[in-house]
Amino acid sequence: MRSLALAVLVASAAACTGSAPPHARAQRIGALEETIGGPHAIGRVGDFLLENDQIRLVIADKGPGRANLPFGGSLVDADLVRPGGPTDGNDQLAELLPGFLFVGLDPTDVKIISDGADGGVAEVDVIGNGNDLLQMIGLLDSALVFPSDLELTQAYRLHPGDRYVEIVTTIVNKSTGAHPFPFLDPSQLGAAGLGSIPAIASLQLSVPMGQLPLLGGEQDLFAPGVAGFNVHFAISDSYALAKGFPAFPGMVVDFLASRGKGVSYGITVQPSDTNYVNHYASLYANQTVTPYSMVIPFTYAGVSAVYMNEPPAQLNAGEQYSYTSYFVIGKGDVGSVLDTIYGLRGTQTGTFGGQVIDSTTSGPSAHANVLVLDANGNPVDQLETDAGGGFLGRLAPGAYAYQLVDAATQAVTATIGPDGQPTRDPVPFTVAAGAPTGVLVEASTPGTIAVAVVDETGRHAPCKIMLVGHFDPVHAGADPRTFLYSDRLGERRRTTAFDLSSTEFVENAWWTKDGRLSATVRPGAYDLVVSRGPEYELHSEPVVITAGGFAESEIQLERAFATDGWLAGDFHLHAAPSTDSGLPLDQRVISAAAEGLDVATATDHNFVTDYAPTIAANALDTWLFGITGLELTTFEMGHFIGFPLKVDPGSTRGGEFVWAGQPPKKLFDELHNDLALEPGNAIVDVAHPRQQVLGYFAQFFIDAANAKPYTPTGILGVFAPYGDEFRPENFSYDFDALEVITNNHFEDIHTFRVPDPPPAGLPDPQPIPGTIVVGSDGRPTFPGVVETWFALLDRGLRPTAMGASDSHHLLGDEPGYARTMVYVGAGKDKPGQFSRGDIVDAIKAHRTVATNAPLIEMTIAGHMVGDTITARGDVAVDIHVHAPSWAQVDHVKVYQGNGGAVVADLVVPATSGTDYTTTVTLHVTADTWVVTEATGTQNMFPVNSAVELPPLDATVIIQALSIGLDLSTLPIASKLKPQRQHAATPYAITNPIWIDANGDGWTPPQTPLDRRAPAKRAPAPDVRDAFASLPAVSP
């Protein structure tokens, strides 16, 4: 560490915004030019702009939710003031709204209270009623909050010159009597419908209130203390510290912040000895509690709940209660947010700043992360260096240390320590009140690698280039976060093989558009591994990279197998327009091409995206065909993919549609007709149908035996959505396709059976390995997508089976795994030879195979998947499985209609894992269908990453509740459930060939379901009849 003049530090880290004189104003947005703009900007005409000389915010008008939440009126956009208007905007906020337990504000009015013309505060208020954000826990909301009696207001107050907006949230008891909190006494919870939860009557609950910030997929959450950037898993860890209700389980934080490219966000409160956490301080005793403490019970996909207050035990008629919080906007790092928070709190501070330079060249290290640790080694701040390597932030007086995380390698980088020697250990420093502390950080020099890759024909082809390292075998089996990288410090995750026999990890991966790479890397000994999807073999060679050194390689890829007539398509891809993805469109299309995909369909959440301009800008037209689409994303009814769609350039989300509170048929009609490029000729594809909370079949409780919805009972009924749109008769079969394999969610493919051995700790009688796990109603607890699909086929419906990646990121969530192989005809699988219509027609004709690598060609007498043939008696099914050597198959199963019975279960010889041919003979006596499935046990690492960490989805809310409530009879909280962390192994399944045994047309083996006309509910009774049926005076 070397001291520098403070003036240099200040000059190098000077702020660049806020040059206008202090003012604040509020206005209704009258033109798109008045909006903010940016990756997640959804503000539009009619919304409310709140801005001052530092920051800009957009509050949505009332009405249905647009992108993420079911209600309007939320804070949807937030950014610093920038000079260029919407084209220069950098909003990365998804949304923010108040949370009263899990009740949100459903607005009836949004209005300007003060426009700031008097030179003072500008204010926009959102007024409305409470409504369930998640109907699944509506019963709990009603029992604890009972929002029907309450009027809710969220006031956004912006003062001139501030980089935060003050949020005052008010609840008013509009009833004529007292309104207790919780609304029901514990003894009443059972009678209110929660009796299925064991011991509920003896459980004293509470009503936490706060804010629900959806900070967006581009923002990395940060909380000072044990979490650092490891917020999600630190919350999970905090569950183990929970001491039970009435304190809701969760992580206690002093403030919540984030980092992102050019903008960051934070939330804090004023000190209080009686706020929610401090009220229950004894129940949070094993966490650090401060007067500013808030509790975060869960976070997923950028969605968080931050609870800071609780109402009084009772509000009398007309009484109101308010709490205040602050939403802060920073420059992209945590430090700029913390600076504002210190100012808000009036904390005495000193400054910590300096410059980061390369120890060899003395050149500045731009965008490096300086992590500030407290005396316990916990991260408390993060400062990002500017283009000149400079950084500056405020800190409360005290002893600290810093570590450097390099921008290129995203790993802790050695710096020159006090003894002049390189060290990765934290370097100590102190900060005194009102005084500057300056450091010169000399970072060790990284290495450089240059690679050029061509395909089998000599073309510079899109491909994936990886550096695979080896960790010390003593760590085998340990959680890689404990020794390989630090989530807390914000290092990039290094994926591992998730295999006790392997010490491999991916140091970094690059998806290139032309096989050319020049990159800065962490010095070390690696394997240089190159892939280009399942149709190519892996190339691997050792490489050693030294500090300041340079390594290079020229590589030619080898084709694994031919796929004449087949296109590889991924029809479920996300990028930056999705709330929970921060991936730029450039990287999305390049990565799709590099994984050997021929077709990429854009399916951002509630956002119509067109990849074509990005494909053209990256000169990828000869490799990749883009299809415009959308993932219509409901909060808890499921996700529905539609393509090809048209883009509405006048909409800030590419098209106008409604998704909240709609029955499925309405959603399908929007995709089929209103948004379709050719109305009536779009594909509606049900995404991850069996995924908990997010899957259509899961949320409608579709019985895998007959593909019909049923009404759940017991605890499943308690946690079931209640809206009219969820009525069983509203379930619609009007979809064209469904994902049988999504990403590496192997656990959803087949109905879950008891593993061998069963997990320990289950109550007697012990389950029998291999049997289907069933609930008290006798139905499978975790029904499979494939079994449900078979039931649909048996009842005459023909949704096309698809495979898709649902990729939101890159490493660990690669595009193309899974994918759909689409047969468009021999010789037509070359760029320019096929059209969008060919792809749609092939999917509608069921000429597809869902796979994450192997390709199955199944034929009967020359007829292929999707065909209906006439045959009786012995029918020969010819099967040919192709696979690359890194994804070999070892089992093939053949299923037949009328129950999906396995008619052949074949072990593939080890010598045939890449090229297996067989013929299976069926004895056909009645109309049926046949499907072939191929599986393997080979670990597909490093091409297709394992699921190493628990997936983040809405089930975390239920899991958080299950810490304090006994929800063990709820499937997702039970001990006997599918393993969600596993290696990626080969899987493929064909679409059917339908066999007409009599030549009189194909007849479903089971009673047909009507695809186009879902059952209508009985008409409401005539009001005259209803009145006449009543006695004059009822008892």
Positions that interact with another protein (CB under 8 A): 108, 138-139, 142-143, 146, 148-149, 174-178, 180, 183-185, 187-193, 317, 722-724, 1017, 1019-1020, 1022-1024, 1026-1027, 1030-1035
Nearer to another protein by C-beta: 102 or 183? 183
Pair of tokens at residue 8: 């240099």
Please identify, using beta-carbon distances, which residue of 760 and 1020 lies nearer to another protein: 1020
CB of 895 to another protein, least distance (A): 37
Q: How many residues does the chain have?
A: 1035
Q: How far is it, in rounded angstroms, from Cα 180 to Cα 314? A: 4
Name which of 199 and 1020 has its Cβ closer to another protein. 1020
Nearest residue (CB) to another protein, 141 versus 933: 141
In angstroms, what CA-CA distances link 18 with 12, 124, 165, 344, 653?
Answer: 17, 22, 15, 18, 29
**Residue 298 C-beta: closest distance to another protein, Å:** 23
Residues contacting 1032, CB < 8 A, separation 6+: none
DSSP 774: B
Judge contact between 81 and 55, C-beta under 8 A.
Answer: yes
Question: Which CB sits closer to another protein, 23 or 666?
Answer: 666
CA-CA distance, 532 to 513, in Å (whole number)? 11
Are 301 and 953 in contact by the 8 Å Cβ rule? The answer is yes
Residue pointed to by tokens 């005539």: 1022
Full 3-state SS string of 653-679: CCCCCCCCCCCHHHHHHHHHHHCECCC
Q: How far is the CB of 670 from another protein (least distance, A)?
A: 16
Coil vs helix vs strand at 172: strand
b vs e for 14-50, b when ≥16 Cβ sit within 10 Å of the residue's Cβ? eeeeeeeeebbbbebbeeeebbbbbbbbbbbeebbbb
Closest approach, Cβ 231 to another protein, in A, equals 33
Tokens matching residue 835: 């059209």
Residue nearer to another protein on the CB measure, 120 or 1021: 1021
- Smallest separation, CB 679 to another protein (Å): 18
Query: In the complex, what is the shortest distance from the CB of residue 191 to another protein, in angstroms, rounded to a whole number?
Result: 4
> Residue 726 Cβ, how far from another protein at the closest point, in Å?
8
Our CB check for another protein shows the closer of 148 and 981 to be 148
Q: Closest approach of Cβ 207 to another protein, in Å?
A: 15
Q: How far is the CB of 106 from another protein (least distance, A)?
A: 10
3-state secondary structure 230-292: CHHHHHHHHHCCCCCCCCCCCEEECCEEEECCCCEEEEECCCCCCCHHHHCHHHHCCCCCCCC
- Smallest separation (angstroms) from another protein to the CB of 135: 8
Nearer to another protein among residue 142 and residue 336 (C-beta): 142
Residue 203: CB atoms within 10 Å: 17
* Minimum distance, C-beta of residue 220 to another protein, in the bound complex (Å): 37
* Structure token pair of residue 283: 């129940």
Give CA–CA dist 900/521, Å, rounded. Answer: 51
Query: From the CB of 149, what's the least distance to another protein, in Å?
Result: 6
Nearer to another protein, 187 or 937 (CB): 187
Torsion angle in degrees (nearest 10) through CA of 725, 729, 733, 739:
60
Comparing CB distances to another protein, the nearer of 562 and 1015 is: 1015
Cβ distance to another protein smaller for residue 674 or 838:
674
Query: What is the distance of C-alpha 653 from the center of its chain?
Result: 18
Tell me if the bond preceding 978 is cis, omega within 30° of 0.
Answer: no
CB of 953 to another protein, least distance (A): 24
In the complex, least distance from residue 177 CB atom to another protein, rounded to whole angstroms: 2
With CA atoms as reference, report the closest residue to 181 among 217, 144, 129. Answer: 144
State how far the Cα of 748 lies from the Cα of 957, in Å rounded to an integer: 20
Quick one: 194 or 871, whose CB is closer to another protein?
194
User: C-beta of 185: minimal distance to another protein in Å?
Assistant: 6
Which is nearer to another protein, 68 or 142 (by Cβ)?
A: 142
Helices (H), 660-811: 664-669, 696-699, 714-718, 785-794
Task: State in angstroms the smallest separation of the CB of 781 from another protein.
Answer: 23
Least separation in angstroms between residue 1028's CB and another protein is 9
Q: Supply φ then ψ for residue 729, to 5 degrees.
A: -70, -15
Full DSSP string of 13-44: T------SPS-EEEEE--SGGGS--STT----
Q: In angstroms, rounded to a whole number, what is the distance separating the alpha carbons of residues 951 and 269?
A: 31
Minimum CB distance to another protein smaller for 109 or for 456:
109
Residue nearer to another protein on the CB measure, 106 or 166 = 106
Q: Other CB atoms closer than 10 Å to residue 191's CB: what's the count?
A: 11
Taking the complex as a whole, the smallest distance from the CB of residue 130 to another protein amounts, in Å, to: 12
Rounded Cα distance, 673 and 886, in Å: 42
Is the Cβ of residue 180 or residue 548 nearer to another protein in the bound state? 180
Backbone angles phi, psi at 9, to 5 degrees: -60, -50
CB neighbour class for 1000 (10 Å; exposed up to 12, middle 13-18, buried from 19): exposed
Would you say the C-alpha torsion 199, 201, 203, 209 has a positive or negative sign?
positive
188 vs 324 by CB, closer to another protein: 188
Q: C-alpha dihedral over 227, 948, 588, 542, to 10 degrees?
A: 110
* Closer of 1 and 110 to another protein (Cβ): 110
Amino acid identity of residue 491, one-letter, is E
Tell me which residue of 831, 457, 809 sits closest to 619, measured CA to CA. Answer: 831
